[in-house]
Chain A
């Protein structure tokens, strides 16, 4: 089936899980960044030390597998994957092999569902530090702070057929991780390796390693597709190889040509014992999953009756969803969704502030919407207030009163302003009368100016039309 598509992509994603301690010892996963300070005999692989599995990490991985609709294994078994590398404290990695904790799952994208081959839990190796860059460093330093951090590995079926879809997949996956509260963007790292092949080459497979985040994956794959096509256009042949994504240069670079399949000599880790997962536990895990993006989307459309576009955007980010749901309790959901989706995101993007930073002002944001809904301020005032709020926290209601920003409800005053505008601009009035209906907007603008933006533009327009 897959081999009828022009592009075939499969992803292998590693995501850090947001546990307090490492997968097999009590060292902290985050904190002191001084190299080799968050270490002990276990994560340094000292002889005699033994791993003890972190139950929280297992919980997190089970949640993830369950949220990705995987079938959960009856027992959790860890294996040793043995190869020599300086970032491996024991020269073997404790991972899962024969029986992954979850398999045969899927993740729904806009117009398709991508199969999940497996989800498993494993330990992170140490990080290698090339002080002068990977190419010119004469030596490499090893920092074991990361050694033993819990990672979930997610492997997809080769069912992704464009760079855009790969991006969408990653974005959606990150959203789910966030919803599950097992991953904190910016703090935990998510990386992908992508296998990609195109029809023109007869599907010669290239593996691209080390792609961080969803923005990069699209760029990396786009670059790679072009690179492969270019080689084929020149009449050359592609060879199976492993490449690495250089985010700085925005290119993929050759790591190694095809090699024989590595044999890691997996054995079951005899230092760890099997952990049974009962049917009851599996049910419980499923039951305790929070509402996920797809469910929220359905709820927003059906229950709150907001536009699908808005629902999609809001449900795809946990913070937006939470903000929306709080707002919808007090304010018309349609108004709230429109404002979150359009105005809030616009202002945040303009100021380059993340939604999480803004969350502190949530209450005041809701106050703005509240005033707006009750027609106490105009949309224009609301926008200005929001722009101000993003920069600095303040008491919206107090500010509105103090600065006299409430909508002018005195229609006599507005009528006077209207009359004045008509008197001062006879040309425009003539223009309006001679079928150029749009010229009335100029008059509306004049009135708004006089009212310092506190008049309701709609009302002003109506009055003007009547008067003229």
Chain B
């Protein structure tokens, strides 16, 4: 059942909202024991919300719909840690704007989904100290993908209508969606307010949706998008309205990115993409090969330079003083801050703080950070040229399907970072993109990614529907 139908039934009373919510919660708890998708399941507040909704005749677009929220998005009075020990016990004093919007539309917050600590990873294995690694819903020996691993995992595993609020900095929505076989949409930078999102890299972070089908995705995007004066980078543009989308008369024109199918890409993944391209062509959709040389040559380096530089400043605030993990304060503040940060940041967080700090030090700033900012501008231009001719670009979401957890352990940090080769481009440049499942190998899902021009989310929804129909 999709969300729209569920809402209809909940409103008309055909679904017992309270009973159903209780069932969903216990299902989540059961799944969580095995798969680790939640850092917190907010059982009591979810049931309370269901009871409140039951009493009133709400017109909310998400009336009674269970929504999970990535741990890095603040939910008032619910422990929110961005997957890090350093935020243990931190209960935000305010709701993120997206959470507020979901609540106002009658959504029921299920809890906080697991992630790589602060979003620092592609496989959700870089979890914070004392956190558990979420497992792939299809094969527990494999990764969920990251960093929104819990969001994608629970969306796939939970047999109820549900949508997940996720977040992407360099591919953290598309990657896990691809590995778990669900829809993952990352909107244009600025389309959805970041207020209440615990920052990884502010100029890259975007809140988006992971869902079971395209309609759900479009509906939730409509709810969470819109200008917010509390986020200076929020775009003051007409709201995204899913209901207004009608199948365009005009045929879509798609560019297939040459570099995304070269060496390093799994054969089966490549085949899957080409098969889909064949089917699209048969629907008289024009597909032509295009090239993004700059993006594929410098995307990874540029992404990691900017994101780590920003991250190293964002993580400075965590020092065991005002909130989160703390110990008895002893000695001078420097020793105390160091002690807390040493204990409660994981290895990957420390690596990124050190690399990011290095990149912005005098003498390196110009060579690394500022140069990366300039390269980013050039990449946007490279994309924009293509979008003047094409509606969408197609590529695999990930170069492979979900690897085994023991394989990931053997990857060097650089090999690890290279997994983001497909997703860093649109993420760096703020372009909306969607990962849609298409094909599989040994049952493991494969994701295909479409990228559109800024604010052209409706084209992503449109193509998503087409791919969904092709099946």
Asked if chains A and B come from one complex, the reply is yes
Binding site for B on A (CB under 8 A): 41, 44-53, 80, 82, 84-86, 89-92, 139, 263, 265-273
| Pairs A-B, 5 closest by C-beta atoms | A91-B316, A270-B203, A270-B202, A265-B360, A47-B198
**Do A271 and B202 contact each other (CB < 8 Å), given the known contacts A82-B316, A263-B361, A266-B365?**
yes
Residues A89 and B360 in contact, CB atoms below 8 Å apart = no
* B242 at interface by CB-CB < 8 Å: no
Across the two chains, which residue of chain B brings its CB closest to A81? B313
Residues B322 and A89 in contact, CB atoms below 8 Å apart = yes
Residues B74 and A50 in contact, CB atoms below 8 Å apart = no
CA of A45 to CA of B315, assembled, Å: 11
**Do A53 and B313 contact each other (CB < 8 Å), given the known contacts A47-B82, A48-B92, A48-B198?**
no
**Do A267 and B360 contact each other (CB < 8 Å), given the known contacts A82-B316, A84-B319?**
yes
Can you list 7 residue pairs at the A/B interface with Cβ under 8 Å?
Answer: A41-B92, A41-B93, A46-B92, A48-B198, A92-B313, A92-B316, A265-B357
Residues A50 and B317 in contact, CB atoms below 8 Å apart = no
Residues A273 and B232 in contact, CB atoms below 8 Å apart = yes
Within the complex, which residue of B195, B321, B361 is in contact with A265, where a contact is CB–CB below 8 Å? Answer: B361
CA of A156 to CA of B201, assembled, Å: 35
Q: Which residues of A contact B198 (CB under 8 A)?
A: 47-48
Residues B333 and A85 in contact, CB atoms below 8 Å apart = yes
**Do A47 and B365 contact each other (CB < 8 Å), given the known contacts A82-B313, A267-B313?**
no
CA of A58 to CA of B16, assembled, Å: 54
Residues A45 and B322 in contact, CB atoms below 8 Å apart = yes
Residues B369 and A50 in contact, CB atoms below 8 Å apart = no
Q: Which residues of B contact A53 (CB under 8 A)?
A: 232
CA of A53 to CA of B233, assembled, Å: 12
CA of A85 to CA of B318, assembled, Å: 12
CA of A52 to CA of B334, assembled, Å: 30
**Do A44 and B316 contact each other (CB < 8 Å), given the known contacts A50-B232, A86-B333?**
no
Residues B196 and A48 in contact, CB atoms below 8 Å apart = yes
* B180 at interface by CB-CB < 8 Å: no
Across the two chains, which residue of chain A brings its CB closest to B315? A91
**Do A86 and B321 contact each other (CB < 8 Å), given the known contacts A46-B92, A263-B361, A267-B313?**
yes
Q: Which residues of A contact B337 (CB under 8 A)?
A: 84
Within the complex, which residue of B199, B310, B362 is in contact with A263, where a contact is CB–CB below 8 Å? Answer: B362
Residues A80 and B74 in contact, CB atoms below 8 Å apart = no
* Most chain A CB inside 10 Å of its own CB: which residue of B92, B201, B317, B329: B317
Smallest beta-carbon distance B94→chain A, Å: 6
Smallest beta-carbon distance B338→chain A, Å: 9
CA of A49 to CA of B198, assembled, Å: 8
CA of A259 to CA of B357, assembled, Å: 20
CA of A102 to CA of B344, assembled, Å: 42
Q: Which residues of B contact A270 (CB under 8 A)?
A: 201-203, 233, 310
Smallest beta-carbon distance B185→chain A, Å: 22
Residues A271 and B317 in contact, CB atoms below 8 Å apart = no
CA of A90 to CA of B96, assembled, Å: 19
* B229 at interface by CB-CB < 8 Å: yes
Beyond the given A45-B317, A48-B92, A91-B317, please list 15 additional residue pairs across the A-B interface where CB-CB is below 8 A: A47-B90, A47-B198, A48-B73, A48-B80, A80-B313, A86-B333, A89-B317, A139-B329, A263-B362, A265-B365, A270-B233, A271-B233, A272-B232, A273-B232, A273-B233
Across the two chains, which residue of chain B brings its CB closest to A271? B202
CA of A46 to CA of B76, assembled, Å: 12
Name B64-91 residues within 8 Å CB distance of A: 73-74, 80, 82, 87, 90
Q: Which residues of A contact B131 (CB under 8 A)?
A: none
* B194 at interface by CB-CB < 8 Å: yes
Q: Which residues of A contact B74 (CB under 8 A)?
A: 47-48
CA of A86 to CA of B316, assembled, Å: 11
**Do A84 and B334 contact each other (CB < 8 Å), given the known contacts A90-B316, A267-B313, A272-B232?**
yes
Q: Which residues of A contact B361 (CB under 8 A)?
A: 263, 265
Residues A44 and B319 in contact, CB atoms below 8 Å apart = no
Residues A50 and B357 in contact, CB atoms below 8 Å apart = no
Contact mask for chain B residues 310-338; partner A; CB cutoff 8 A; 1 contact, 0 none: 10110011110111000001000110010
CA of A245 to CA of B294, assembled, Å: 55
Residues A41 and B94 in contact, CB atoms below 8 Å apart = yes
Within the complex, which residue of A52, A82, A92 is in contact with B232, where a contact is CB–CB below 8 Å? Answer: A52
Q: Which residues of A contact B323 (CB under 8 A)?
A: 46
Q: Which residues of B contact A80 (CB under 8 A)?
A: 313
Q: Which residues of A contact B164 (CB under 8 A)?
A: none
Residues B317 and A47 in contact, CB atoms below 8 Å apart = yes
Q: Which residues of B contact A46 (CB under 8 A)?
A: 92-93, 322-323
**Do A84 and B316 contact each other (CB < 8 Å), given the known contacts A46-B323, A52-B229, A272-B232?**
yes
Q: Which residues of B contact A50 (CB under 8 A)?
A: 194-195, 230-232
Residues B195 and A267 in contact, CB atoms below 8 Å apart = no
Residues A84 and B230 in contact, CB atoms below 8 Å apart = no
* Most chain B CB inside 10 Å of its own CB: which residue of A44, A80, A267, A272: A267
Across the two chains, which residue of chain A brings its CB closest to B195? A50
Smallest beta-carbon distance B41→chain A, Å: 21
Within the complex, which residue of A91, A139, A267 is in contact with B310, where a contact is CB–CB below 8 Å? Answer: A267
Q: Which residues of A contact B369 (CB under 8 A)?
A: 267
* B309 at interface by CB-CB < 8 Å: yes
* B421 at interface by CB-CB < 8 Å: no
* B197 at interface by CB-CB < 8 Å: yes
Contact mask for chain B residues 82-123; partner A; CB cutoff 8 A; 1 contact, 0 none: 100001001011101000000000000000000000000000
Name B349-384 residues within 8 Å CB distance of A: 357, 360-362, 365, 369, 373
Q: Which residues of A contact B316 (CB under 8 A)?
A: 82, 84, 90-92
Residues A271 and B334 in contact, CB atoms below 8 Å apart = no
Smallest beta-carbon distance A118→chain B, Å: 18
CA of A220 to CA of B310, assembled, Å: 40
Q: Which residues of B contact A47 (CB under 8 A)?
A: 74, 80, 82, 87, 90, 92, 198-199, 317-318
Q: Which residues of A contact B310 (CB under 8 A)?
A: 267, 270
CA of A82 to CA of B358, assembled, Å: 13
Q: Which residues of A contact B94 (CB under 8 A)?
A: 41, 48-49
Smallest beta-carbon distance B78→chain A, Å: 13
Residues B93 and A91 in contact, CB atoms below 8 Å apart = no
Residues A91 and B232 in contact, CB atoms below 8 Å apart = no
Q: Which residues of B contact A45 (CB under 8 A)?
A: 317, 322
Name B206-263 residues within 8 Å CB distance of A: 229-233
CA of A53 to CA of B230, assembled, Å: 10
Q: Which residues of A contact B230 (CB under 8 A)?
A: 50, 52
CA of A50 to CA of B362, assembled, Å: 26
Residues A91 and B319 in contact, CB atoms below 8 Å apart = yes
Q: Which residues of A contact B317 (CB under 8 A)?
A: 45, 47, 89-92
Q: Which residues of A contact B229 (CB under 8 A)?
A: 52
* Most chain B CB inside 10 Å of its own CB: which residue of A44, A49, A273: A49
Q: Which residues of A contact B319 (CB under 8 A)?
A: 84, 91
Across the two chains, which residue of chain A brings its CB closest to B81? A47
CA of A48 to CA of B231, assembled, Å: 10
**Do A266 and B194 contact each other (CB < 8 Å), given the known contacts A80-B313, A271-B202, A271-B233?**
no
Residues A48 and B197 in contact, CB atoms below 8 Å apart = yes
CA of A187 to CA of B313, assembled, Å: 33
Across the two chains, which residue of chain A brings its CB closest to B373? A268
CA of A80 to CA of B311, assembled, Å: 12
Q: Which residues of B contact A91 (CB under 8 A)?
A: 316-317, 319
